[in-house]
Amino acid sequence: MSNNGFDEEYWNDIYAQPKIMDGVFNARIHADYLHALFALDGIEIDSILDVGFGLGYLLGAVLDRFKPRHAVGLEPSLHAFDRGQKRLNAPSKTQLKLLPIDASAWCLQSTKPRCFDLGICTSVFQYLSDMQIEEILPVLAERVKFLYFTVPTDLEAARLSAQYSFVDSYARRRTRKRYNNMLAPYFTVVGNRLLESKNYFDENNSLFTELVFRH
């Protein structure tokens, strides 16, 4: 993926059937899960960053569920940005800013943005090079307290190909161990798909109370 994201061909190819895509047909379920997870430990989410909001389905559902005061969405693919921008209607109390920029460029900005309570980064890392990931992760750990993160490993990609004949020819394949090694210096796993920044928390001050599940 270039700094300008993917062109229209990618979106028409990979999202040919958006109603079966994770983060599209089940966007509301993702948002409800996240809201319940934070509510269980009484954690308030008042600012949200989406690193690659794509067509806007998941970001829209999360904004509607949390109704944060501030939100920023990044999306370098102009085709997706235009479609997502038209779809996104932020709650009245939310100040939403959408930027046609990729994660690397945003992370390298000379002016340091605010720290967000929650970051969203779903189905992005499989399109990034190792160098891009190494640039992005330490900055993300500084700028988000929690990160809702998904990325398919090589095994999941093989399963999708075998079961559904779905092959993402644009994606890089990495092992679970490789992704875990990349994330470990910066984030702690505190729930299914949820990471906690090591810049802000450790086991002594974590807002998540079930310490046995930290790794």
Structural domain count of the chain: 1
Return the number of other C-beta atoms located less than 10 Å from residue 47's C-beta.
Answer: 20
Question: Is 127 among the domain residues?
Answer: yes
Question: Is 180 among the domain residues?
Answer: yes
Question: Is 1 among the domain residues?
Answer: no
The beta-strand segments (E) located in 20-65 are: 47-51
Has residue 18 got a pLDDT over 70? Answer: no
Chain mean pLDDT for the chain: 92
Question: Is 23 among the domain residues?
Answer: yes
Q: What percent of the chain has pLDDT over 70?
A: 95
Q: What pLDDT does residue 183 have?
A: 98
Q: What is the pLDDT of residues 144-181, one digit of tens each?
A: 999 999 999 999 888 888 887 778 889 999 999 999 99
Q: Are the CB atoms for 29 and 131 separated by under 8 Å?
A: no
Q: Are the CB atoms for 188 and 198 separated by under 8 Å?
A: yes
Buried b (16+ CB within 10 A) or exposed e, 189-206: bbbeebbbbeeebeeeeb
Question: Is 64 among the domain residues?
Answer: yes
Has residue 1 got a pLDDT over 60? Answer: no
Question: Is 104 among the domain residues?
Answer: yes
pTM over 0.85: yes
Q: What pLDDT does residue 81 have?
A: 96
Q: Are the CB atoms for 84 and 59 separated by under 8 Å?
A: yes
Q: What pLDDT does residue 53 have?
A: 96
Q: What pLDDT does residue 148 have?
A: 98
User: Binning pLDDT at 50, 70 and 90, where does residue 64 land?
Assistant: very high
Please give the residue range of the domain that contains residue 102: 8-213
Number of H helices, E strands in the chain: 8, 7
Q: What pLDDT does residue 3 have?
A: 59
CATH classification of the domain holding 75: 3.40.50.150
